[in-house]
Amino acid sequence: MPQFLVKPANQVVVEGNPLRVEYEVGANATAAKMLPGRLVIYDTVASAVKEAGAKAADVLGFLDVSADNLESVNYAVGDQALVVMGECVAKLTLLASENVAPGDWLVSAADGKVAKLAVGAMGSQGMPVGQALEASNVTTDAEILAHWIPCAEPAAAS
């Protein structure tokens, strides 16, 4: 038996029983970026989502694997997509060349990926979405285990 969590094949949720809600992939989504394990935000209507951008303050959740597809299959515009919103341990896509260690806080990066929370002024860092559970420092995108616990972004000082 392994001492720690094992990254499963064809699953994004590793541990937990989080809230999952079906949304439509919105008209402004980039289909190639709508992959399981990628973060999403609302599109122009409340029932539709698109990929999150860097340092998003309004991350809704991340895409789960469709029951009839593989993890590597993206959702198309107009598809019904399962969005994970509740706390869990998940396998998320870390942006290439990010140097993270266990316990580092994560925020959204380009194309719905995650990146290490950078030091900066409150209100400009992006919404913390969870903590890395493993180290990674590679030059390509990597799947990492993360404790998915989205939090409100601190407000800018006034």
Note if the pTM is more than 0.75. Answer: yes
Q: What is the pLDDT of residue 4?
A: 85
- What does the pLDDT look like over 84-138, one tens digit per residue? 999 999 999 999 999 999 999 999 999 999 999 987 666 678 889 999 999 999 9
Q: 17 and 70 in one domain?
A: yes
21 closest CA partner among 52, 43, 49: 49
Domain that holds residue 23: 13-84
Domain boundary among 67, 84, 101: 84
Q: Residue 8: inside a domain, yes or no?
A: no
- Residue 39 burial (CB count, 10 A): 29
Position 31 scores a pLDDT of 96
95 lies in the same domain as 37: no
Position 152 confidence tier, pLDDT thresholds 50, 70, 90: confident
Does residue 93 share a domain with residue 69? no
Q: Specify if 154 maps to a domain.
A: no
Of 53, 50, 148, nearest to 108 (Cα)? 53
List C-alpha distances in Å: 123 to 110, 126, 155.
Answer: 18, 7, 5
Domain boundary among 39, 61, 84: 84
- Residue 14's pLDDT is 95
Q: Are the C-beta atoms of residues 71 and 93 closer than 8 Å to each other?
A: no
- Domains held by the chain: number: 2
Residue 156 inside a domain? The answer is no
Question: How confident is the model over 31-83, as pLDDT tens digits?
Answer: 999 999 999 999 998 899 999 999 999 999 999 998 888 899 999 999 999 99
Pair (23, 80) in one structural domain: yes
Q: Average pLDDT of 142-150?
A: 94
Q: Are residues 64 and 99 in the same domain?
A: no
pLDDT at residue 119 in the model: 75
